Structure 1
Amino acid sequence: MPPVPDNHIHTSADNWFDNQRVDHFNTSDTRTYKQRYFLNDKYYKTGGPVFLEVYGEGEANDYYITSGAIAEYANRFNALLVNLEHRYYGQSVPTEDLSVENLRYLTVEQALKDTEQFVGYLNKKLSLNHNNTKWIAFGVSYAGNLVAYLREKYPHAVAGSVASSAPVDVPYDYNQYFVAVSKSLGTECSNQVRLAVNQLEDQLRTPEGWQSMAKELNLCAPLNGTDKLSVNLLMFTLTAPFGSAAQYNGLRNFLGVAQVCAVMTNGKDVWTPLQRYAKVVGQYFKGGCLPVDYSQQIQLFRNVEKTAPLVLAGVRQWYYQMCSQIGYFWTTDQTDTPFGHNIPIDYYLNLCADVYGKQFTREYMKKSVDRFNSNYGGFKPNVTNVVFPNGAVDPYHELSIVKDLNNSTRAILMKTTGHGSDIFPTQFTDPRELTDARLAIQKQIQLYKLSL
């Protein structure tokens, strides 16, 4: 889910589906948990549809159903707005802790069944069945996948879905991610990144170089360049400003491509490429130090308590989903990338095994991803009544649907926007193509609302 503005204040009360099942697929397991959701009935009129925002890998809030484009659509269609927090994120954790044994209930299949059951629950609770109420599901990124899969697996639950920036073709090793980032940055900017990373890789060869990197990049501790996994961690962390610039392209809290590349391409006669690179990194991390101790990071990942920092942030849960089912590992495992070659798939293989157990082998993860794509269809999901908006600057659009699949499943590709741009509130500065995309989405919603 794209970022929520820092000044957003919750305006809706928490609501709870008290009897959501922990395991939908084991009839002998009768355990239930409380799943959180938010409601906004400001625009609702009897007989109107329900617009369901499905949340993904983070704590839910009411921002997008009170301030986002979804709320604008609701105003037009007299819709009831509701969003549902994903199991294991935020306050919807069904188990005492997040041990590996308990995380086995964190799957796409369980999350989809949660949503289908929630639709039935709210229909009954609010007596919506009597009005033959139509539900339209909205989701962004991973949650965009979920709402597309919801139409595929439970078409009776929702009449249609808006799957924004949904990377439905799930890769085990997404080694094209940084290629796509480079393309979005442009030739000159990417070349400057390449020169800076070349300097870093030269420094990695000597203890003197490690000391220079610690000072230039504000590392949290001295770097041991012989610790391969710590080097991998650092080099992965250093890609964050550039990946997020391409992915979100200036959305709300993030630096955009223009801002990042202005730093990388200006002042060549004053600063080296590495100095400019370090300036971008400093701006992105707001002066904070960068982690360089792989073993220390692993210890943070291993904390299973609900109040642990990486649990509250959803990081432990999301990496478990990647390791166990959906991959999406960003690597530099290709012949040419401006980001060097120090983020291999082996880094993630080690992380998955070190955090979640030795059963997470290369073979296990490859088979899991292959099984997932076979089950949900990859680039060819068996769906109707889904619209797929994407921004071409976003590297993830290359894993999404960018051409119409059938008469009711449409693709919208915006050339200059990033990840999830269509779900934010309308602004007078929006490019014309974004305005046109929202109008096209409204048209599809109208069709889905009238469908049988």
Structure 2
Amino acid sequence: MNILLIFLAVSWQVVSSNHLFQTKYIDTPLDHFTLNTNNTFKLRYLVYGQFHVKGGPIFIYTGNEGDIMMFAQNTDFIFDIAPIFNALIVFAEHRYYGESLPYGNQTFSRPENLVYLTTAQALADYVYLIEELRRNFFSTMISKDTYPFVAFGGSYGGMLAAWLRMKYPNSVLGAIASSAPIWFFQDLTPCELFYDTITRVFAHFGTDHCNKTIKATWDVIRNVTKTKQGKLYLSSLWKICNNLQTAADVDKLIDWLSNIYVNLAMVNYPYPTNFLTALPAYPVKIFCDKLNSFKIENHGTLLEALGAALEVYTNYTGNTKCNNINVTSEDLGEYAWDYQACTELVMPMCSTENDMFETVPWDFKKYSEDCFKKFNVNGSSPYWPALQYGGKNLRYFSNIVFSNGLMDPWSCGGVLQNVSSSVWSVNITDGAHHIDLRGSHPADTNYVTEARKFHISAIKKWLNMN
């Protein structure tokens, strides 16, 4: 059945400085692969046309696990280069995130509603949007080649950009996949490398003393929270919104704290940002300086020192009233992402005595049990993503640039060497998480500047502009 396509220009919004997007919605099939339902939902996308000239390419950002506005606000590289190519800019939101909720307010009311949350369905959404843009937005087109699409994405969005080019090469001419850990799966990447990289980042920017202090805190937290009084003490000390009451609450606190360290390393940019949260330049250094400068013997306990340092992440603006340990970034869809991590994107991680985290081995059986408790589903086969998208056998694909900041923990699951004459790797020695997709900044190092130049050269080659 042909589905009536509706484009609704409902608003104009400033997404980045001086960038006024048109917000649109497209009626998209809920299930692209069966005939069981004709149901649709409204997929949100953003359009910016100031630099576009008839016949120019379309730069499409494949949305991540969160509100598309957040990624549009932090991907100024696309705006920086669009005038070079006379390009139209489109940011497409990922289903089940932001406003693109298939069941509206009931989307997360029960696990059964999440069944259509898969990478295959998300990629099909992007293909569907691309084809309908060609047919409707560019009504005067002569052929598909008249308006070529180039995909961009960072992190999970980078994985999707690469997979879109790999699986649907007729839809996009090429892909810039930044910080895309497409090899972060079973037997492709050792489970300990992720936390090893974060430990290296904290040692580089904050000295080994910072790492050792963090390592010592895990036992202290566990010991203090063994009693009811201890739980109440730590809840008050760290201004936790809902007091710790159970062992499960303590485990949640440990996960929250670990995720903060992950996020600090990921967005350890050389200038202030407001991506996952408001942060200063080099937040890892600021965090470690604050932790190391706290005179524990004179001014209190190790937990007081850590609580003060945590405010670099939790309360940099001074506006946070209390800390919600259920989330580490308000604009990320952490519940939906947890579902994806259970049902498809199982990424093995483990911490050891050699890193700064609490020692936790990778246990797929326990992982599956936790998934079942939360979503009533067993953990997916950890081998499925590699089977679905080719694993490390990328030599048959083309026109993909994989870029990675080597100070980004996700780089350990990325493509760090050239695969072929048209599948390239660009490594940014001092780079954090998809820093090359951020806009040009005076604090940029030569490494990130050169990476962006490579991206421009690759796109020119794909468009036969060289």
TM-score (norm 2): 0.82
> C-alpha displacement at 1:261, in angstroms?
1.7
Cα distance, 1:235–1:62 mapped onto 2, change above 3 Å: closer
Look up the match of 1:374: 387
Cα distance, 1:71–1:10 mapped onto 2, change above 3 Å: closer
Count of matched residue pairs = 422
Per-residue displacement from partner, 1:244-293 (whole Å, max 9, x unpaired)? 1211103612352211121122244655543322112233222543457x
Per-residue displacement from partner, 1:138-175 (whole Å, max 9, x unpaired)? 01110100010011111111110000110101336955
- Give ranges in structure 1 of 5+ residues lacking alignment: 301-308
8 Å CA contact retained: 2:264, 2:313 = no
> C-alpha displacement at 1:204, in angstroms?
3.8
Look up the match of 1:246: 265
> C-alpha displacement at 1:94, in angstroms?
2.4
8 Å CA contact retained: 2:185, 2:385 = no
Per-residue displacement from partner, 1:381-432 (whole Å, max 9, x unpaired)? 4521111111111100101111111111111111222111111111122111
Look up the match of 1:182: 199
* Residue in structure 1 matching 2:286, options 259, 265, 272: 259
Look up the match of 1:235: 254
Deviates more, 1:323-332 or 1:29-38: 323-332
**Structure 1 residues 19-418: aligned runs within 5 Å:** 20-61=28-69, 64=72, 68-96=76-104, 97-98=106-107, 99-125=110-136, 126-127=138-139, 128-130=141-143, 132-171=146-185, 174-186=191-203, 187-207=208-228, 209-224=230-245, 227-250=246-269, 252-253=273-274, 254-255=279-280, 256-268=283-295, 270-271=298-299, 272-286=301-315, 287-290=320-323, 314-328=333-347, 331-332=350-351, 334-341=352-359, 349=368, 351-357=370-376, 359-360=377-378, 364-365=379-380, 367=381, 369-381=382-394, 382-418=396-432
Distance in 1 of aligned mates of 2:101 and 2:229: 47
8 Å CA contact retained: 2:405, 2:411 = yes
Distance in 1 of aligned mates of 2:258 and 2:142: 49
Per-residue displacement from partner, 1:216-264 (whole Å, max 9, x unpaired)? 323334434xx43222111111223321121110361235221112112
8 Å CA contact retained: 1:170, 1:328 = yes
> C-alpha displacement at 1:12, in angstroms?
2.0
> C-alpha displacement at 1:53, in angstroms?
1.0
- Give ranges in structure 2 of 5+ residues lacking alignment: 1-13
Cα distance, 1:222–1:93 mapped onto 2, change above 3 Å: closer
Distance in 2 of aligned mates of 1:344 and 1:201: 20
Structure 1 stretches of 4+ with a deviation exceeding 6 A read: 5-10
Distance in 2 of aligned mates of 1:417 and 1:220: 34
8 Å CA contact retained: 1:193, 1:264 = no
Q: Report the 3-state secondary structure (helix = DSSP H, G, I; strand = E; otherwise coil) of the residue aligned with 2:122.
A: helix
Give % identity: 25
Deviates more, 1:276-285 or 1:58-67: 58-67
Distance in 2 of aligned mates of 1:223 and 1:33: 39
Per-residue displacement from partner, 1:25-53 (whole Å, max 9, x unpaired)? 10343222222211111111222111111
Q: Report the 3-state secondary structure (helix = DSSP H, G, I; strand = E; otherwise coil) of the residue aligned with 1:326.
A: coil
Deviates more, 1:172-181 or 1:133-142: 172-181
Deviates more, 1:322-331 or 1:157-166: 322-331
8 Å CA contact retained: 2:287, 2:310 = no
Distance in 2 of aligned mates of 1:6 and 1:242: 28
> C-alpha displacement at 1:330, in angstroms?
5.3
Look up the match of 2:442: 428
Cα distance, 1:188–1:380 mapped onto 2, change above 3 Å: farther
> C-alpha displacement at 1:443, in angstroms?
0.7
Per-residue displacement from partner, 1:345-379 (whole Å, max 9, x unpaired)? 5875454223311x32xxx43x1x31122111234
> C-alpha displacement at 1:122, in angstroms?
0.8
Distance in 2 of aligned mates of 1:391 and 1:329: 21
Amino acid at match of 2:87: A
TM-score (norm 1): 0.84
Amino acid at match of 1:373: A
8 Å CA contact retained: 1:329, 1:348 = no
Per-residue displacement from partner, 1:116-136 (whole Å, max 9, x unpaired)? 121111111113443532211
Distance in 1 of aligned mates of 2:213 and 2:452: 36
8 Å CA contact retained: 1:232, 1:342 = no
Q: Report the 3-state secondary structure (helix = DSSP H, G, I; strand = E; otherwise coil) of the residue aligned with 1:13.
A: strand
Q: Report the 3-state secondary structure (helix = DSSP H, G, I; strand = E; otherwise coil) of the residue aligned with 1:450.
A: coil
8 Å CA contact retained: 2:194, 2:409 = yes
Amino acid at match of 1:196: T
> C-alpha displacement at 1:55, in angstroms?
0.8
**RMSD between aligned alpha carbons?**
3.0
Cα distance, 1:241–1:12 mapped onto 2, change above 3 Å: same
Amino acid at match of 2:44: R
Distance in 2 of aligned mates of 1:202 and 1:344: 23
Look up the match of 1:450: 464
Distance in 1 of aligned mates of 2:360 and 2:252: 9
1:15 matches 2:32: no
Deviates more, 1:396-405 or 1:172-181: 172-181
Amino acid at match of 1:378: G
